[in-house]
Amino acid sequence: MFKAPSHQVAGHQARDGKLGPLVDELGRFYKPLQSGERGSQEVAFYEKFCSNTTIPDHIRNFFPIFYGTQLLEASDGSGKHPHLILQDLVSGRVNPSIMDIKIGSRTWPPESPEDYIQKCLQKDRGSTSLPLGFRISGLQVNGGEESASWKPEKKYIKSLTADDVRLVLRKFVSSNVSAESSVQPDCSLASIVYGGSTGILAQLLQLKAWFEEQTVFHFYSCSILFMYEKGSMLEGKKSNAEIKLIDFAHVLDGCGVIDHNFLGGLCSLIKFIREIIDTPSA
User: What residue segments make up the domains of the chain, in order of their start?
Assistant: 22-87, 96-278
Q: Model confidence at 14, in pLDDT bands (50, 70, 90)?
A: low
Cα–Cα distance between 138 and 50 in angstroms, integer? 28
Inform me whether the pLDDT recorded for 210 exceeds 80.
yes
Superfamily classification of domain 96-278? Inositol polyphosphate kinase (3.30.470.160)
AA letter at 42? E
Is pLDDT at 252 greater than 80 in this prediction?
Answer: yes
Share of the chain above pLDDT 70, in %: 92
pLDDT of residue 181: 72
Amino acid letter for position 58 = H
Give the mean model confidence (pLDDT) for residues 249-256: 94
What angle, 0 to 180 degrees and rounded to 10, lies between the N-to-C axes of helices 260-278 and 200-211?
150
DSSP code of residue 190: H
* Cβ contact 32:71 at 8 Å: no
Contact between 176 and 265 under an 8 Å Cβ cutoff? The reply is no
Task: Indicate the pLDDT class of residue 269, thresholds 50, 70 and 90.
Answer: very high
Cα separation, 222 vs 207, in Å, equals: 14
**pLDDT band at 258, cuts 50/70/90?**
very high
- What SS3 string covers 28-62? EEEEECCCCHHHHHHHHHHHHHHHCCCCCHHHHCC
In this prediction, residues 69-88 reach a mean pLDDT of 86
pLDDT, mean of residues 267-278: 97
